[in-house]
Structure 1
Amino acid sequence: MKLYKSIAGICLALSIFSSCTKDLDKDTPDQFTDDNFWTSENNVRTYNWSFYSLFTGFGTGTTGDFYFSSFTDDQAASTFQNFALTAPTTSSDWNWTYIRKANIMLERIDQVPMSDEAKRHWKGVAHFFRAMDYFNKVKTFGDVPFINKSLDVSETDQIYKARDPRTLVMDSVLSDINYAVANLRVKDQDNTVNQDVALALKARICLYEGSYRVYHTELGLPDAEKFLTQAKDASEKLMTGKYLLGDYKALYSSMDLAGNKEILLYKRYVTAILTHSVIGYTNSTTQMSGLTKSAVDSYTTTDGLPISQSPLYKGDATITDVRTNRDNRLLVTVDNFLAYNGNLVNGLSSSTGYRPAKFLQPASNQLAPYNETDAPILWYAEVLLNYAETCAILEKIGKYVVTQTDLDKSVNLLRKRGGIAALTLNGAGSVSASGTIINDPKRDADISPLMWEIRRERRVEFMMDGFRYTDLMRWKKGEYLDKAKNPEAFLGAKVPANGKVQLDANGYIKPYSDALTRTFVDPKNYLSAIPTGQISLYPPGVLTQNPGW
């Protein structure tokens, strides 16, 4: 089953409740109304397809989760990116279309003539997508209005209600995703939402919220342990041998991810139906958003040690040196040549010199926006990383003791795939690799070596995958995006001067002029602004703005 499914069906599902025309009032035989639509499981299935557009994947233009999510310390966008200084009038994220759609589905299912099992499954689907949409809204805005029924235009008290506390919304999200886990089919049609997919999303949601509450102590949010414990449990339920790690590059460059044992859910791209631009933008004369020095330096050497500790590290005088004795994931992620202003390679140029390579697939159409490779949505590597990090945070708050077994069945599997030595637990947050105690001089003082290495694994495993910004926000590490506090996030490869590329005093590419700077403002930049156009629609003082805006 392909995520794009039937375009006609999706359009139908989107339009069923958007208006009531005179033609529909006539109840013509070839058109549906709310009264005659809910008559079969097939119709419910048709209604649900448009929810799948909430999975962005590679996107369709330049806004996908992968590569284009370059506003992090991992990439330097081809044009300088900064935080918004003022609140916008509108935001596509402040939209309740899919919440309303899920609420309608929940209210109508019981009237459909189908089995109780089918009713429970489709309610589970609606709860799944409502949970996901509200989770995304909380990540973006924090407190948001929680609405769990379809509203009539006359219900202005609910339409213009105040923002509900984050705790209420996320408790509701947890309730929704737990319902989905308990009631979704173990398997429905291929590549659709099922029980395992719900468990994977639950682990993602609960790790995010639990860790956010641990690190954002200024908010005084309760129940971090509740979310973290459920994240660990959900992850562990998927770690039974059903899913297996495969080829790292295949995750990002496959023409068809069907049958890949690492994949729980993916987005299918097909010529002339749904295509994307990721390959085109990493394989054209348009300057690429290259990896930063900070990102490249985060990959260990094959002995599993940070480059500052390893005798295997050859330095960064050349791209060959950079790639020698390094994690295989680095070799997949960046190409074996440098391309930059004054040193184009077949017309290619990267903002930092490092050419992103892991999405390339010669069998696909190479031009944007006609690329056809599939995009992973939920996959096993994330499950393993969620498990490892959850265990470590629970240890931090005194609710668990991490064991070697925990590492061996999670991050060490990923390190093995990367061709680097396993982590050995020494106790009290200390870890070793290849017989050497790891003590990375770049480690933040408030983070244990164990947690630092787990975060490193998450960073390199998900390089350019759209996780990094969200991770920095939940860890309360927004300063990593600040030029003054993390200058290596604004540097690229070391190259010889050629008069056409800007270099710092040590010979590293500077993607931007010194006049361009980025400052992270705490707490302002941890949440997006509520659109001012929305605030103006509400009675005065009802819809409040986020701090700092």
Structure 2
Amino acid sequence: MKNHLKTIITGIFMVSLAAAGCKKSFLDQTPEASLAGNNFYQTETDFKQAVNGAYSSLREMGSVNYWLFGEMRSDNTYYQYNPSDRGYEQREFIDQFLVGATAEPLSSYWQQNYTAIARSNEIIFRIADKPIAEELKKQYTGEALFLRAFNYFNLVRQYGGVPLRLEPTNSPDEAQSKGRASIDEVYAQIITDLNAAAELLPAKYPVAEAGRATAGAARTVLGKVYLTQKKYTEALTEFRKVQGLGYALMAKYADVFSPANKNNSESIFEIQYLGAQPALASNFMYQFAPWNSLSIVTGDAGTTLGGGNGWNVPTQDMIDAYEPGDLRKDISLAVGFTDLSGKFQPNPYVKKYNHGFVDRGRTDDNFPLLRYADVLLMIAECLNEQGFAANGEAFSLLNQIRERAQLKPKTAGNADPVLRVETQEAFRQALLQERRVELAFENHRWYDLVRAGKAVEVMNAHGKKEMVGKITVPAGSYQVNAAKLLLPIPQREINLDNLTQNPQ
């Protein structure tokens, strides 16, 4: 078994090198070799390659762990049981709230975040005294600060307090951490990094560099951090700044996710994938396709489906969450497929990232992490928490999102009781519902439930539905309490770094 401390010691100095021409996108680079950090960080090109390496962990996490921990832990999705391939049982345990500290996905998620943090630390530490252009120095430092903060935000929301590693590790003696920082200490560092990043990063990049973290991305995450802490005034301040940066909703919901519209006007930050290159391609369409659908869902007759498919399956509760006439439903999910015999198979799947394949097993879809629609709904949340105002700006923002989905507005005093919202609490519920369907399968639902204080209640109710008539669900599943809102710290980190475990 690889141990994480060894990974830190030997891997923290490693940087992905890239073969990139001057006209290529920053993503269009394939790792070729690695060099020790002490010798590597010298030129502008070195630092650009180092920053690109820090982004690469996003692609790794986006492939599985983002949706595994952001959607499948929620009531939005579950999994299609595969009796012939039981090699992914730990994913099922995450959905069922049965996961133990030795589970591979826990360690994988922990390592992916800390790998990005380690790479970011190298850049932040080494760039200050290097003779490169000042504007590039600001940009690369800002990107590294953003990525460090973003990954700590992932960690603190899933594990609670975690070790704060803010400098490169230069020797085995430095590999062990000082132990778990408090949740407040982690958030304080995240806020410090994001404030600095927002000042250093540009609002926009040339087309060839699109997809890098911007000032808008830093301020959006900063606002989300404040919102998570229920600091509504501070959150609103950041979101208002994002409003002034030129983002706009796409006219059509489907266009937001089309590979033809990557990094569009509504996109604030998305994980970049390139279907044309095997190492940089995405494959969400395949993972979400029912394992018994052959090539009917993917259209790819050359790729066999099995245990790696049938994940992130929309629950019936998710399917029922859409109002009649909501055009987002058919764009986001399908309730099943028709097999080769003409029989309909009621196996739901996510359609939002189903845009065909570039080559066998490879797609060109990016994964959205931050969208302007999310910002508008978070502004509405801040305004409502500061004080309910019947048919005020918060209503206008909510209804702006609903209008694109071709739904009628929700208002105070509405003659239709389904559309009537008369109180602050009713608006909270309307907003949580709108976020669920607008941001479905974009890994927001779990965090929204926790922030709203609804996770225990909702997930226990969800569990009761999931247990009905399913002999494949282990006893004790979906027994959710406050302690289970945090994941166990990976056991090897407990053993090797002398960390305290989260109560379960």
TM-score range, shorter chain: 0.7 to 0.9
Structure 1 43/531 Cα, relative in aligned 2: closer, same or farther at 3 Å? same
Structure 1 119/297 Cα, relative in aligned 2: closer, same or farther at 3 Å? same
User: Any idea what SS the aligned residue of 2:75 has?
Assistant: coil
Conserved 8 A contact 1:262-1:380: yes
In structure 1, the partner of 2:289 is: 282
In structure 2, the partner of 1:23 is: none
User: Any idea what SS the aligned residue of 1:84 has?
Assistant: coil
In structure 2, the partner of 1:244 is: 248
Distance 1:347 1:57 in 2: 37
User: Any idea what SS the aligned residue of 1:476 has?
Assistant: coil
Partner residue of 2:236 out of 232, 236, 239: 232
Distance 2:57 2:234 in 1: 24
In structure 2, the partner of 1:385 is: 377
**Structure 2: which 5+ residue stretches go unaligned?**
1-23, 82-91, 295-304
TM-score, length-scaled by structure 1: 0.71
Structure number with the higher helix fraction is 2
User: Any idea what SS the aligned residue of 1:376 has?
Assistant: strand
Structure 1 67/470 Cα, relative in aligned 2: closer, same or farther at 3 Å? closer
In structure 2, the partner of 1:204 is: 224
In structure 2, the partner of 1:319 is: none
Q: Which amino acid aligns with 1:133?
A: N
Q: Which amino acid aligns with 1:83?
A: F
Partner residue of 2:462 out of 486, 493, 502: 486
User: Any idea what SS the aligned residue of 2:151 has?
Assistant: helix
Distance 1:345 1:475 in 2: 46
User: Any idea what SS the aligned residue of 1:436 has?
Assistant: coil
Distance 1:420 1:132 in 2: 34
In structure 1, the partner of 2:297 is: none
Structure 1 545/155 Cα, relative in aligned 2: closer, same or farther at 3 Å? same
Q: CA deviation at 1:434?
A: 5.4
Equivalent residues in 2 for 1:39-438 (5 A)?
A: 39-56=42-59, 59-60=62-63, 63=65, 65=67, 69-79=71-81, 81-84=95-98, 86-88=100-102, 91-95=107-111, 96-153=114-171, 155-156=173-174, 159-188=176-205, 189-208=209-228, 210=229, 224-225=230-231, 228-240=232-244, 242-246=246-250, 247-252=252-257, 254-258=258-262, 260-266=264-270, 267-273=272-278, 274-280=280-286, 281-282=288-289, 284-285=293-294, 288=310, 290-300=313-323, 325-335=324-334, 338-339=336-337, 349-351=345-347, 354-362=348-356, 364-365=357-358, 369-393=361-385, 395=386, 400-402=387-389, 404-424=391-411, 426=412, 433=414, 435-436=416-417
Structure 1 249/346 Cα, relative in aligned 2: closer, same or farther at 3 Å? farther
Conserved 8 A contact 1:530-1:545: yes
Distance 1:270 1:458 in 2: 29
Distance 2:108 2:328 in 1: 34
Q: Which amino acid aligns with 2:455?
A: G
Distance 2:68 2:415 in 1: 33
In structure 2, the partner of 1:465 is: 442
CA distances 1:431-451 after superposition (whole Å, capped 9, x unpaired): x555537579xxxxx981100
CA distances 1:80-135 after superposition (whole Å, capped 9, x unpaired): 54223532276123333322222221121122212433322222112111111111
Conserved 8 A contact 1:293-1:488: no
Structure 1 116/405 Cα, relative in aligned 2: closer, same or farther at 3 Å? farther
Distance 1:476 1:150 in 2: 37
Instruction: Quote the sequence identity (%).
Output: 21
Task: Tell me which structure has the larger Cα radius of gyration.
Answer: 1
Aligned length: 442
**Structure 1: which 5+ residue stretches go unaligned?**
18-32, 211-223, 301-324, 427-431, 441-445, 492-503, 505-509
CA distances 1:210-256 after superposition (whole Å, capped 9, x unpaired): 1xxxxxxxxxxxxx42xx3232122222224822222212223x233
Partner residue of 1:16 out of 17, 35, 51: 35
Conserved 8 A contact 1:339-1:345: no
Distance 1:184 1:38 in 2: 21
